[in-house]
Amino acid sequence: MPEKTQPKVTKQVKVIKANEIDPRFKYEVSKVPGAKKIMICFQCGTCTADCPIARFSDSYRPRKLMRMTQLGLKDRVLSSDNIWLCAACFTCVDHCPQDVEISSVLRALRNMAVKEGVMPVVFRDLSSNILKTGYAYVIPALRLRKREEQGLPPLPKASLESIAKLSEVTGFSELVKKKKEESE
Ligand code: SF4
Ligand code: SF4
């Protein structure tokens, strides 16, 4: 009987081109408080193995993001949706044998992405809501009416003046508006 052959699994590998590599990137990241130890990640994979998000995602791999950062793949890392998936639960930080503060590295990467004008729509919307109403979510009138019917006190009013002042001082509103030009 002829031997059964297994279907060939082809994995798409994205080739790294030399002009994609920014050798300064890892130094920029390591200067951010909390992200210094990115340099000593030795790729053991413990962070990915223990990460609760990686368990349910086909693409989120903190180990891989650490490696891409070390390699200087700045554009790929900063434009990746994956850097926004970290739940900052610190499980990986507790288990990393090199004491890399992975969640701080990811925070640093998200902040850099925003400065480059890259922010997922959902976070842009949440940020705009805060600037407009003081709340991350726009609370529907129906919900407010229900509170009233249940005898609950009205929700506290946010000081929009203070929010505007804070966002001006920190540059938050400008960051929310900033959008990276789509490359062809
Ligand atoms: S657990 Fe620490 S050393 Fe291991 S891959 Fe993750 S960041 Fe690197
Ligand atoms: S802090 Fe982020 S990367 Fe680390 S285990 Fe939690 S979700 Fe995963």
Domains along the chain with CATH numbers = 18-115 (1.10.1060.10), 121-177 (no CATH)
Which atom of ligand 1 is least distant from the CA of 40? Answer: 3
* Res 55: pLDDT: 96
User: Does residue 89 have its Cβ closer than 6 Å to ligand 2?
Assistant: yes
Enter the tokens of residue 89.
Answer: 């639960």
Stated as kind and residue range, the H or E segment containing 149 is helix 141-149
Atom 8 of ligand 2: nearest residue by CA position = 51
- What's the pTM? 0.85
Counting DSSP H helices and E strands in the chain, the numbers are 11, 0
Splitting the chain (184 residues) into consecutive groups of 10 residues, what average pLDDT does each group show?
A: 61 86 97 96 98 96 98 97 97 97 97 95 94 91 95 92 94 89 54
* Res 10: pLDDT: 64
Which atom of ligand 2 is least distant from the CA of 50? Answer: 5
Atom 4 of ligand 1: nearest residue by CA position = 44
Residue 148 contacts by C-beta under 8 Å, 6 or more apart in sequence?
A: 154
* Res 180: pLDDT: 80
Burial of 149 (C-beta count, 10 Å sphere; 0-12/13-18/19+): exposed
User: Does residue 102 have its Cβ closer than 6 Å to ligand 2?
Assistant: yes
